[in-house]
Amino acid sequence: MPSRRRRLLSPHHRLASPPLSLATQRLGTSRRSRINGGWRRRKWLDGGDAAAAGKPLPPCCVKARAAAPESEAKCHATVVSGWFTEPRSRGGKTSKVQYYNNPMWPGEAHSLKVEKILYQGKSPYQEVLVFESSTYGKVLVLDGIVQLTDKDECAYQEMITHLPLCSIPSPKKVLVIGGGDGGVLREICRHGSVESIDICEIDQLVIDVCKDFFPDLAVGFKDPRVRLHVGDAVEFLRNAPEGTYDAIIVDSSDPIGPAQELVEKPFFDTIARALRPGGVLCNQAESMWLHTHLIQDMLSICRETFKGSVHYAWTSVPTYPSGVIGFLLCAKEGPPVNFLIPANPIEKLEGAMEAGREIRFYNSEMHRAAFVLPTFARKELEAYCTTTENEQPEETAAEPLKIAIMPNSEILTAS
């Protein structure tokens, strides 16, 4: 999530890396200056992984390291005087506030007013914070990075789930990588055709905290179709029988250091192996406002791996950097998949709109719109996407929008 920081790998797990793609070669070390792994950050700040690899620290991490105290950074120190700041810049030369450099979104800051700290803790993998905000409800923070809020979690959870599942008829077996908050599970459970749901999350504390403080998200864990696996995601995928899943949803970390391998070919090859022919992947894919070069890298790799179709979609999430987040949609070679038009519309699934909680964001119109890119993004990304012959958007004549102005009122109604 540019703001998503779900841990997927053991800190000691490494994949063999292929030669860098052309886009990566163009970026060189600056590629890592553009991205940040959140929970991965600590090793790079102390120089551990870089020193072991004999490589210099990326410039962004050098800057962050220079600003950090000698001891391990305390990410919850970003809660200062009743405010949570992401990242918090120094107010002046004499400021004693710790500066957190988040190179995913340089030069930006987003603050949420803290009404009450509800939980602070630390797992073997990351620091966990939950607080009540004044405008977004409860907020989950991992290693100082906002993961979700009560108010806008629906946009991310619903879109990352229903974009892939509504693109194929009757999905039966689904795998979730990450997603320990349970939100993606909640949305998958709306699909009555699904028979089994595997979820692989490495951090048990995230699961436990979300069950306590975000019950509307964690409700998905209660479904009897769900099988929880706490452990390393790549190892789990390697052990999965070939062709097992109809859909795989990757709620991934942002790639830097060890997590960079989550956007390289060996990882996507492992995912493709676990999918049945015509199976689909939906992978968190950053912000088009901030990371088009990284998105190009991911699209290029996936075009080599997934011979069905490859697309980029996006949605709005106010508390994520730049206010948007993207998704990589890929189909394995086999029965053709048209991501642009829902083959399995959510509105026609019995009980799906109300299952446990009404759908607040996703619908079939939002599905189609998610693949419509702004002109600048289309120019930069279109050449990296692949479309099958039958994969064309529907052309329908739009009815004119009727606007009614209520007398003596400022309220506008549209029909």
Domain count, the chain: 2
Average pLDDT, the chain: 77
CATH number at residue 139: 2.30.140.10
Q: Both 317 and 371 in a single domain? A: yes
Mean pLDDT over 130-140 rounds to: 93
User: What pLDDT is attached to residue 108?
Assistant: 72
Mean pLDDT over 221-240 rounds to: 94
Tell me whether residue 108 is in a domain.
no
Residues contacting 85, CB < 8 A, separation 6+: 78, 109, 110, 111
The model's confidence at residue 269, banded by pLDDT at 50, 70 and 90, is very high
User: What pLDDT is attached to residue 74?
Assistant: 54
Q: Both 140 and 225 in a single domain? A: no
CATH number at residue 233: 3.40.50.150
Tell me whether residue 209 is in a domain.
yes
Active site residues: 251
- Condensed to tens digits (0 to 9), the pLDDT of residues 339-352 reads 999 999 999 998 88
Instruction: Identify the weakest region by mean pLDDT among 33-42, 105-114, 128-137, 227-236.
Output: 33-42
Tell me whether residue 86 is in a domain.
no
The model's confidence at residue 19, banded by pLDDT at 50, 70 and 90, is very low
* Sheet containing 83-86, strands listed edge to edge, beginning at the edge strand earlier in sequence: 79-80, 83-86, 110-122, 127-133, 138-142, 145-149
Residues 68, 73: Cα–Cα separation, whole Å? 6
Q: Which domain holds residue 380?
A: 152-384
Q: Both 127 and 241 in a single domain? A: no
User: What pLDDT is attached to residue 101?
Assistant: 40
Q: Both 265 and 362 in a single domain? A: yes
Tell me whether residue 224 is in a domain.
yes
User: What pLDDT is attached to residue 98?
Assistant: 36
- Condensed to tens digits (0 to 9), the pLDDT of residues 86-112 reads 554 545 444 443 333 444 566 777 788
Residues 320, 108: Cα–Cα separation, whole Å? 11
Is the pLDDT at 384 greater than 70? The verdict is yes
Q: Where are the alpha helices (DSSP H) in 253-374?
A: 265-274, 292-305, 364-369
Mean pLDDT over 40-58 rounds to: 40
Mean pLDDT over 297-303 rounds to: 92
Q: Both 226 and 319 in a single domain? A: yes
Residues 249 and 161 sit within 8 Å (Cβ to Cβ): yes
Token pair in block for residue 366: 């939002």
Is the pLDDT at 13 greater than 90? The verdict is no
Tell me whether residue 402 is in a domain.
no
Mean pLDDT over 137-154 rounds to: 92
Q: Both 123 and 244 in a single domain? A: no
Is the pLDDT at 182 greater than 80? The verdict is yes
Higher pLDDT, 402 or 249: 249
Q: What angle do CA 148, 161, 186 make, to 5 degrees?
A: 65
User: What pLDDT is attached to residue 392?
Assistant: 57
User: What pLDDT is attached to residue 76?
Assistant: 64
Q: Both 218 and 231 in a single domain? A: yes
Q: Both 198 and 136 in a single domain? A: no
The model's confidence at residue 140, banded by pLDDT at 50, 70 and 90, is very high
Q: Both 170 and 279 in a single domain? A: yes
Mean pLDDT over 261-288 rounds to: 92
Q: Both 316 and 373 in a single domain? A: yes
Residues 271, 268: Cα–Cα separation, whole Å? 5
Q: Both 172 and 239 in a single domain? A: yes
Mean pLDDT over 28-48 rounds to: 30
